[in-house]
Amino acid sequence: MIEPDYIPIAALNHYNYCPHRCWRMFCIGDFTDNQYTIEGTSLHDRVHTVGDSHREEVWQIRAVWLKSERYGLIGKADLIESENGQWYPVEYKRSHRGEFDNDELQVCAQALCLEEMTGQPVPVGYLYYAQSHQRQLVNLSDELRQTTIATLEAVRTLLHTGTMPKATYTPRCKGCSLFQACLPQAVEKVGRYREAE
Amino acid sequence: MGTIYITQDDAFIGKTDERLQVRSQKKTLLDVPMIKVDGVVVLGRATISPAALIELLERKIPLSFLTGTGRFLGRLEPPLTKNIFVRSAQWQAGENSPQAVHVVRGFIRGKLKNYRNTLMRAQRDASDPNSAAVAKLAEGIRRLEHAIAPINTTDTIDALRGLEGAGSAAYFGCFQHLLRAAGFSFTTRQKRPPTDPVNALLSFGYSLLRHDVESALNIVGFDPYLGYLHTQRYGRPSLALDVMEEFRPLVVDAMVLAAINRRSLTPTDFSTEPLSGAVSLSDDGRRTFLRLYEQKKQSQFKHPVMAKQCTYQEAFEIQARLLAKYLMGETDQYPPLVLK
Ligand code: SF4
């Protein structure tokens, strides 16, 4: 495998959801659209109209490429805002607050890039939930930063070695768009199966 | 929607916006959104526009070409998936490696057990248990059991091919006793070209099955041209033919027998070419056959390993995924699909 120079920010999110999913998407290119990803895409299509506009004193820039040399990260932010000279990322999410706590990682990774690009500290970011039109503050604490960096290192190792993390069946498999390809219960089921004589 | 079959020689396959359209003599035969198309099979000489071709490739929709009589000619397929891991596991299981022997056992055991179960069902359903036909079926079942029993202790692929040959001979030896409609008979399996209606239907069905199994293998990331049971020795290296084995009786034989026995097709649906004796279906017969095949593929059953309802269409992919899991060392067996 070629060593990727930069880790896609989205990979962190997927890794946190399920390492096997991250492997499927980024090591073997298994990507099937299901309802979730299709809806997600159309929402993103709308958010991703490149351009900037003013909203009172808030600067908004949509669909910005973010990059960090220090952390080897790359990704596209839905929305970056600046208020009183303070930059922060806003990440759009399809539904209400996710059951699994991985969206904050994405905001944090965007903030790490933004800090490097602007040379200013970015203490907070936001998650915007399209269904409830709610913005949620993400406090970019040291703890969250450490978790983000640790996840980033784990993803980097995964992408470099290509070693498959085991597929383990958990409740989140039900909402996973790769379920049909992954068949997370198959190993156990094949192990138990006795062919009819 | 599933697979689209185009049987009209003068048909033109084009695209408008996001839709696939088939026209013939200024009439629109078909107009479907691309998103509903899983595969396209052209039988005969239909023409396809470059725009439609590109759209199919971009959407990773495979396109197969068959002759009007259903012989497989070739296919156009988007690039293989990036799943190098599945392909390298496939290549590492070299000829006569323990994994290759294991999967060949599975393919053959699956096929022969399904053959045997078909004969046993016919035996149970027979009206007169003392008839000569039932005695023939019993004989076929006995010979099949004889071929199945040593499979798991046979260690070379060549010897396994011998068991497969013996089992298939036993099954086709009493295939005629599965036919219950006047005007149809069967003596032996004839392939190139089929010279009787039953053989013509079987060959046609296997071509369609091959298109579907090959698509499933491609989705999972396999190289369909590297097989274990069917290697160079058989003229065409093909994993698609390997994985097809267990499905032949379940999908094709079952629907061919149903089509004949329920009189969906009658002897008048066939014609014979003068010199070669090749038998083929009429246009109407072919449409009926394609409809029945598609219905069979969409019919539901309980997958014995996954313990959930699925269609045969889904089962092609499930079996391919189970094969990948075995070759990649995630499971310690490949379970062929065996149905009672
Ligand atoms: S189905 Fe479950 S194990 Fe498989 S990739 Fe999705 S979340 Fe991970």
pLDDT in tens, A117-169: 888 899 999 998 887 888 889 999 999 999 999 999 999 999 888 888 999 99
Give the mean pLDDT of B3-23: 87
- Residues from chain A that touch B307, judged by Cβ atoms under 8 A, are 189
- Rounded to whole angstroms, the Cα distance separating B190 from A86 reads 79
- Rounded to whole angstroms, the Cα distance separating B63 from B53 reads 9
The tokens of A19 are what? Answer: 């390492």
The reported pLDDT for the residue numbered A40 is 46
Average pLDDT score, chain B? 87
- Say if residue A96's pLDDT is above 70: no
Cβ–ligand 1 contact at A167 (below 6 Å): yes
From ligand 1's centre to the CA of B130, what distance in Å?
55
User: Which of A24-28, B84-88, B158-162 is most confident?
Assistant: B158-162
Single-letter code of the amino acid located at B18: E
Burial class of residue A73, CB neighbours in 10 A (0-12, 13-18, 19+): buried
> Which atom of ligand 1 has the smallest separation from the CA of A21?
5
The tokens of B140 are what? Answer: 């076929």
The tokens of B266 are what? Answer: 């009658």
DSSP class of residue B225 equals T
Cβ–ligand 1 contact at A182 (below 6 Å): yes
- Rounded to whole angstroms, the Cα distance separating B311 from B266 reads 28
From ligand 1's centre to the CA of A181, what distance in Å?
9
Contact B148, B116 (CB under 8 A): yes
- Rounded to whole angstroms, the Cα distance separating B337 from B335 reads 6
> Which atom of ligand 1 has the smallest separation from the CA of A167?
3
Among A93-97, A133-137, B250-254, the range scoring the smallest mean pLDDT is A93-97
Which positions 164-193 of A are in contact with B (Cβ < 8 Å)? 164, 167, 180-181, 183, 185-187, 189-191, 193
- Say if residue B283's pLDDT is above 90: no
Cα end-to-end distance, chain B, whole Å:
29
- Rounded to whole angstroms, the Cα distance separating B256 from A117 reads 67
H/E stretch holding B106 reads helix B98-125
How many helices (H) and strands (E) chain B has is answered by: 10, 12
From ligand 1's centre to the CA of A66, what distance in Å?
28
Cβ–ligand 1 contact at A127 (below 6 Å): no
The reported pLDDT for the residue numbered A30 is 64
> Which atom of ligand 1 has the smallest separation from the CA of A182?
4
Mutate which of A23, A25, A28, A166 to test chain B, going by most B C-beta atoms within 10 A? Answer: A28
What are the E-state strand segments in A20-118?
Answer: 51-55, 58-68, 73-83, 86-93
**Which of the listed residues A172, A180, A189 should we mutate to test ligand 1's pocket, taking the one with most ligand atoms within 8 A of CB?**
A172
Cis peptide before B274 (omega within 30 of 0): no
Name, in order, each residue with C-beta under 8 angstroms of B338's C-beta and a sequence gap of 6 or more. A195, A196, B109, B110, B113, B114, B117, B246, B304
pLDDT band for position A41 (cuts 50, 70, 90): very low
> Which atom of ligand 1 has the smallest separation from the CA of A18?
8
The tokens of B74 are what? Answer: 């070739």
pLDDT band for position B266 (cuts 50, 70, 90): confident
- Say if residue B75's pLDDT is above 70: yes
- Say if residue A51's pLDDT is above 60: no
The reported pLDDT for the residue numbered A44 is 52
Contact yes or no for A30 and B333 at CB 8 A: no
CA distances from A170 to A179, B62, B326, B336 (A): 11, 34, 22, 27
H/E stretch holding B22 reads strand B19-24
DSSP class of residue B5 equals E
What are the E-state strand segments in A69-183?
Answer: 73-83, 86-93, 124-129, 134-139
A194 in contact with chain B, both atoms CB, cutoff 8 A: no
